[in-house]
Amino acid sequence: MPYRVFEEYNIEVTEDIQQKYKSVITDLGEDVEREGLLKTPERAAKAMQFLTSGYDQDASEVLKSAMFAEDYQDMVIIKDIELYSLCEHHMLPFFGKAHIAYIPNGHIVGLSKIPRIVDIFARRLQVQERLTHDILECIHQTLKPKGVAVVIEASHMCMMMRGVQKQNSSTTTSGFRGQFEKVETRSEFLHLISSDLH
């Protein structure tokens, strides 16, 4: 199955992570036996499994499950795809939007599959650069389009809540393959996703 519905957690893994969270909460000086925290280790164990559930999913299979032969030659853009990931340095969230385009080469892909693969790569311990690259390469290698472009704009909680504590900075990463390596095609894409269209 290319993606799983996240309702059934592995009992043993949940129990194991839960015990570790109990120690962490205790080490932080809290009382794991107080009412408000009684179920917290289990909830946190489940939340972390969900937020890293992308490891168990095959993004390429997801794309392959909805590729259709079609003679459409122009740019397809899916923009403002919201994403939530975890930075691998602090395991704190980074979140923002992905804008993705491709130029078909005999096949189009079911539109929903693009946000699905964004989630699959985002639900892992990531850096924004690798997330951008993972999405780009998956589409490039699986759909084999004439071109693919990925832009991600994101804010990192590790830079907002702690560390340098910058609330308003955001980071943009991008990757281009095939026809998007040409300035005119890339410019058209960047123009079409630019904020004045929102």
Ligand X SMILES: Nc1nc2c(ncn2[C@@H]2O[C@H](COP(=O)(O)OP(=O)(O)OP(=O)(O)O)[C@@H](O)[C@H]2O)c(=O)[nH]1
Binding mask 142-161 for Zn ion (x = CB under 5 A): ----------------x---
| Residue 140 annotated in active site | no
Candidates 156, 180, 185, 193; binder of ligand X (CB under 6 A) is 156
| Residue 138 annotated in active site | no
Number of residues this chain uses to bind Zn ion (CB under 5 A) = 4
166 binds ligand X (CB under 6 A): no
Nearest-CB residue for ligand X: 163
Residue 163's binding partner among Zn ion, ligand X, none (Cβ under 5 to 8 angstroms by kind) is ligand X
Both tokens assigned to 125: 């311990």
How much is the CA Rg of the chain, to the nearest whole Å?
20
Closest by CA to 39, choosing from 20, 22, 26, 53, is 22
Measured distance CA(33)–CA(71) in Å, rounded: 62
Measured distance CA(51)–CA(43) in Å, rounded: 12
Measured distance CA(6)–CA(13) in Å, rounded: 14
Q: Judged by CB, which is closer to ligand X: 37, or 158? A: 158
Residue 150's binding partner among Zn ion, ligand X, none (Cβ under 5 to 8 angstroms by kind) is none
Residue 54 beta carbon to ligand X: minimum distance, rounded to whole angstroms: 15
DSSP 10-21: -HHHHHHHHHHH
Helix (H) or strand (E) holding 133: helix 128-142
> Starting from the edge strand earliest in sequence, which strands make up the sheet with 171-178, in order?
125-126, 76-87, 93-103, 147-156, 171-178
Among 15, 19, 70, 89, which one carries the catalytic annotation?
89
163 binds ligand X (CB under 6 A): yes
159 binds ligand X (CB under 6 A): yes
139 binds ligand X (CB under 6 A): no
Task: Name 177's bridge partners.
Answer: 148
Structural contact between residues 113 and 135, judged by C-beta atoms closer than 8 angstroms: no
| Residue 19 annotated in active site | no
Q: Judged by CB, which is closer to ligand X: 108, or 120? A: 120
| Residue 198 annotated in active site | no
- Please tell me what DSSP assigns to residue 55: G
Q: Provide the binding-site residues for Zn ion, judged by CB under 5 A.
A: 87, 89-90, 158
Q: Provide the binding-site residues for ligand X, judged by CB under 6 A.
A: 87, 89, 127-129, 156, 158-159, 163-164
Catalytic residue ranges: 87-90, 128, 156, 158
